[in-house]
Every structure is written in structure tokens, then in C-alpha cells.
Amino acid sequence: MVINIKEEKPKYGWYVRDLMLYFFLLGFTGLILFISGFYIRNIIGIILGVIGFLIILIFLWPAIGLSTMQIALINKINTIDVIGKDFVINKLENPLILDIGCGTGRAAIKIAKELKNGGHLYGIDIYEKMAISGNSLYTVQNNAKIEGVEEKTTFLYGSATKIPFEDDYFDMINISSVLHEIHNSEGKEKALKEIYRVLKKGGYAYISEWNRNSWQLISTLGIFCFVFKNKNYWQILIEKTGFKTISYQNQSGFGLFIVKK
């Protein structure tokens, strides 16, 4: 008898899955109203058509954009792909790395896989479900186990605004697509101050955030791109904290700031 044991695969989750679903449902309602507007040849038809068109613009466009981004981009955009595998981490002996808002470990696990000179990667998150389905401490720990980096990683509950580590602890910190989820500028500033505090002097932070002025974001999210801040906003906030910007790279709507303490 042949027993077919299925290999367990890591689950990195669908980003903004629920949001996409609601937007599609609303968007299709708009489409129905818009089409109905053509058949009802009076003032009500015109009103329905206009309302339908607006709903399409507001919901269907971002729903399609988010889905194509999920399929085409999200899994490809990654700090580690952009910075090159040995930019900082493998120039150091036993580097200590922190990934803030690690989620299911999409970036954290890739970084951990690149550790060649010893070292350890810590990941913290508050594991909110809105952006990623299946987001939990268990998921990221299990993903690390499946990917063979369990020994080199530790994942914990922890907030960017109150990082549970001592001052000057890490050689490198990665925070990818997290700051925009922290409410108001004070909260974002508090998180950046915390990153500065726990980073060693001379250490690098990789901060990636959406840039609403990029055509990629506008074409993907439609009017919702205004929910996000632009590159200037982030640069001012980052440098106000005391970081020195080493470089900035545009990655399909994300802006990656490489900064130094």
C-alpha cells in the first residue's frame, strides 16, 4: 500500500483578501446599476448610470487593481530581493535582525534564509487580520519551521510603538508596509523613534512604504491611493527621527528607504 504524505507548504496568506471581496461585491453592484441605466431611458436611468459609474470607479477599479497586484507583485516585492542578498547582513558576524510587522513571515523568512555568518532574526507583530488572511503567531512560527529556519528565528507579539527590546540591540531592522497601518503621524513618529532606539549606532534600517505619488499606486488603487502618504512625508518623518537616508528605491509603488543610525 502506498501512503501519499502531502508535504506541508508555508502559508503566507492573501493580502487584503476580505477587503478585495467586499470591493468586488460593491463594484459588481455598480456594474449592474450602470448597465441598467442604459436600458431605462429616462431620468432614473441617467441617475442609476451615474451612481453605477461612481461605484465602479470607487470600488471595482481598486478591487481589480488589488487582485492583480496580489497575483503579480506582492510576492515578488521584497526588501531582500531589492537590496541584494549580501548588502549588510552577511558583512557582519552573528548579526541581530528585527523584522517589525512580520505578519506571516514573507520578508522575515527570506532574510533568515540569507543568514550565512550566524546571527538571528526576530520578528514582532500584533497579528491583525485585516491585511493578511491567516495572520497569527502560530502561522509565522509554522512557516519558519517548514522553511527550515526555525533555529535562526524567534517570533513574538510586539508593537512597533513599544518594541520589546533594549536600546542599541539590532544590527539591521526591516519594516515593510507596516507604518501606514499605525494611526496618525504621532503614532508613526513614535514607531520610528522606537526603531531608532533599538538599532545599534551604525546599524541600518530598511523602511518600505507605499508612495501615493507613484503611477503604480494610482493605477492600482484608484482614488484609494489618497489613503497613503507620499515619499516626501515619509522622508521628513524618518529624518526628523535622526536617521540619515542612504538611498531610496521605488519598487512598483513601494518606496524603500535605506537609512542609517
* Residue position matching grid coordinates 512625508: 233
Under rule CB under 6 A, residue 210 binds ligand SAM: no
Note whether 188 and 229 are within 8 A (CB): no
Check binding of 126 to ligand SAM (CB under 6 A). Answer: yes
Quickly count: other Cβ atoms within 10 Å of residue 96's Cβ: 18
Give kind and range of the element (H or E) at residue 29.
helix 17-39
CB of 182 to ligand SAM, least distance (A): 5
The secondary structure element, H or E, covering residue 207 is strand 199-210
Closest listed residue to residue 75, CA positions, set 46, 113, 104:
104
Q: Given the C-alpha cell 518600505, which residue does it identify?
A: 208
Identify which range of 20-28, 55-63, 86-94, 154-162 contacts ligand SAM by CB under 6 A: 154-162
**Neighbour-count burial of 260, counting CB atoms closer than 10 A to its CB (0-12 exposed, 13-18 middle, 19+ buried):** middle
> Counting contacts by CB under 6 A, is residue 127 touching ligand SAM?
yes
Binders of ligand SAM among residues 159 to 198 (CB under 6 A) are 159-161, 176-178, 181-182
When the beta carbons of 150 and 181 are compared against ligand SAM, the nearer one is 181
Closest CB to ligand SAM among 53 and 169?
Answer: 169
Q: Is 209 in the site for ligand SAM (CB under 6 A)?
A: no
* By the rule CB under 6 A, 101 interacts with ligand SAM: yes
Contact criterion met (CB below 8 Å) for 199 and 205: yes
DSSP 147: T
Closest to ligand SAM by CB, 55 or 69: 69
Smallest distance from the beta carbon of 35 to ligand SAM, in angstroms? 34
**Binding to ligand SAM by residue 255, rule CB under 6 A?**
no
Task: Confirm or reject binding of residue 110 to ligand SAM (CB under 6 A).
Answer: no
Query: Of 131, 144, 172, 198, which one interacts with ligand SAM (CB under 6 A)?
Result: 131
What value, to the nearest 5°, has the Cα angle with vertex 225 and ends 219 and 229?
130
Site of interaction with ligand SAM (CB under 6 A): 100-103, 106-107, 125-128, 131-132, 135, 159-161, 176-178, 181-182
